[in-house]
A and B are shown apart, each in its own frame.
Chain A
Amino acid sequence: MEPRRWQVTVSRDRTDSARPDAASLPDGADDRTLVEACRSGRREAFDVIVERHQRQVYQLCYRFAGNHEDASDLAQDVFIRAYRGLHSFKGQSAFSTWLYRIAVNVCLNRVGARSQRWASLDAAEQADTREERADARILRGERAAEVRAAIARLPKKQRAALILRVYHDLPHDQIAAIVGSSVGAVKANFFHALANLKKLLNTK
């Protein structure tokens, strides 16, 4: 009787090339190549795009939403909208710029109406922890909550400029391309965002 042969597969780290479906995609394929692959019907190429950009998109959404659950939902919405809109990506800007634009629009549309509620929630949390000010960690957390609440109160364009500049370290010209305005307008919004942040934090 012939001995049974076992095939041993060594699992690899989760990388683009480790995906069985993505195996035939060029190694290190750039975003545009992946977009073309998506358009030609290869959905697995979009999985690679998601893995590549999910962290940045999630972090951006978190900055707008202020909590993990909403950030996760927003980020998912961003990618679905991006997939649906792949036909409109013309490659005139970097794919990441295009994706950021979708993310900022989704966040501003969905989060704007709720920011006031968050601010009041944060205020309530601060009141609850006021007795524990001796603990430096709580103080830090409280300060972070204050900053986030203040950022949430900024006008939309100022908030977008601040988040993209400070937390994503994007240059002003890329921010301008994302929000659809001039570099001068982005700088002005950033200036007002910092000035208003100071006012909001000082009035607490």
Chain B
Amino acid sequence: MKHLSQAEFVDLVESRSPLPAARARHAEECERCRTEAESLRTMRLVASSDAIPEPSPLFWDHFSARVAEQVRHEPRPAAPATGWRMNPFATWAAAGTIAAMLITTALSRATLHAPAPHMANETAVAMPVSDVGPVDDLDNDQAWAVVRAAAADVAWEDVTAAGLTAHPADVENAALQLNAAERVELVRLLNADLKRNGA
């Protein structure tokens, strides 16, 4: 028969959970297991016989006062972290997703409301816009790739739970806050997109 396992030895030595009858019989009959169990029992006894000195009764008062004093200088412990505080990465990812959604929506809505730019105005603002660095190819744009990667694993439930959902007015506000140069760039991007899609 197999010798006792480590867990069985522990159960045997501690006499807390009795071994099954067959295993208990083996423990009695097997010289090797009996010796091992006796050795473990002795070591447990040796260890447990070591008592540590009890500190002075005054120590406890001093100790608790010392801890209390230190705690006084600590900020108040917060309630259990829930929602967005539990996962900051998800929060940033969700924020990135929302930002992307707002921009996309603003782009699509701006074509409906923005006045068509005159050529003269377009020329006038052409320089600053070029400094911004227009995005011609979203698929290969690095910044956009970062946003995409960050938002890839974000569930919409998390976004909603984090209170980062967009409202109808958000899109209007975003579109209205674009300056002239941004509107020009927006129109340019939309036109390019329309041409690419054959509209």
Additional A-B contacts beyond A184-B7, A191-B40 (4; CB < 8 A): A72-B59, A147-B47, A147-B50, A194-B40
Please tell me if the beta carbons of A84 and B47 are within 8 angstroms of each other in the complex. Answer: no
Closest Cβ neighbor of B9 among chain A residues: A191
Please tell me if the beta carbons of B64 and A68 are within 8 angstroms of each other in the complex. Answer: no
Contacts of A191 in B (CB 8 A): 6-7, 9-10, 40
Q: Looking at the complex, which one of A166, A188, A201 makes contact with B6 (CB distance below 8 Å)?
A: A188
Please tell me if the beta carbons of A76 and B47 are within 8 angstroms of each other in the complex. Answer: no
Please tell me if the beta carbons of A38 and B64 are within 8 angstroms of each other in the complex. Answer: no
Which residues in chain B, 1-57, are within 8 Å of chain A measured between CB atoms? 6-7, 9-11, 13, 39-40, 42-44, 46-48, 50, 52-53, 55
Q: Looking at the complex, which one of A39, A80, A144, A148 makes contact with B71 (CB distance below 8 Å)?
A: A80
Closest Cβ neighbor of B17 among chain A residues: A172
Which residues in chain A, 47-79, are within 8 Å of chain B measured between CB atoms? 47, 50-51, 54-55, 58-59, 62-63, 68, 72, 75-76, 79
A 126-154 binary contact with B (CB < 8 Å = 1; else 0)? 00000000000000000010011001000
Q: A75-B63, A198-B39 are in contact. Are A86 and B50 (CB under 8 A)?
A: no
State whether the Cβ of A197 lies closer than 8 Å to any Cβ in chain B. Answer: yes
What class of interface size applies to chain A in its complex with B? 35 or more
Please tell me if the beta carbons of B52 and A51 are within 8 angstroms of each other in the complex. Answer: no
Q: Which residues of A contact B (CB under 8 A)?
A: 14, 38-39, 41, 43, 46-47, 50-51, 54-55, 58-59, 62-63, 68, 72, 75-76, 79-80, 83-90, 144, 147-148, 151, 162, 166-167, 172, 184, 187-188, 190-192, 194-195, 197-198, 201
Closest Cβ neighbor of B10 among chain A residues: A187
State whether the Cβ of B61 lies closer than 8 Å to any Cβ in chain A. Answer: yes
B interface residues, how many (CB within 8 angstroms): 36
Contacts of A46 in B (CB 8 A): 68, 71
Q: Which residues of B contact A (CB under 8 A)?
A: 6-7, 9-11, 13, 39-40, 42-44, 46-48, 50, 52-53, 55, 59-61, 63-64, 66-68, 70-72, 74, 76-81
Please tell me if the beta carbons of B77 and A84 are within 8 angstroms of each other in the complex. Answer: yes
Q: Looking at the complex, which one of B11, B42, B47, B59 makes contact with A166 (CB distance below 8 Å)?
A: B47
Contacts of A59 in B (CB 8 A): 52
Nearest CB of A to B177, in Å: 37
Please tell me if the beta carbons of B74 and A80 are within 8 angstroms of each other in the complex. Answer: yes
Closest Cβ neighbor of A148 among chain B residues: B50
Q: A162-B47, A188-B6, A191-B6 are in contact. Are A51 and B64 (CB under 8 A)?
A: yes
Closest Cβ neighbor of B44 among chain A residues: A194
A130 to B55, CA, bound (A): 27
Please tell me if the beta carbons of A58 and B63 are within 8 angstroms of each other in the complex. Answer: yes
A95 to B6, CA, bound (A): 30
Contacts of B60 in A (CB 8 A): 51, 54-55
Closest Cβ neighbor of A47 among chain B residues: B68
Please tell me if the beta carbons of A194 and B64 are within 8 angstroms of each other in the complex. Answer: no
Q: A58-B63, A76-B67 are in contact. Are A83 and B6 (CB under 8 A)?
A: no
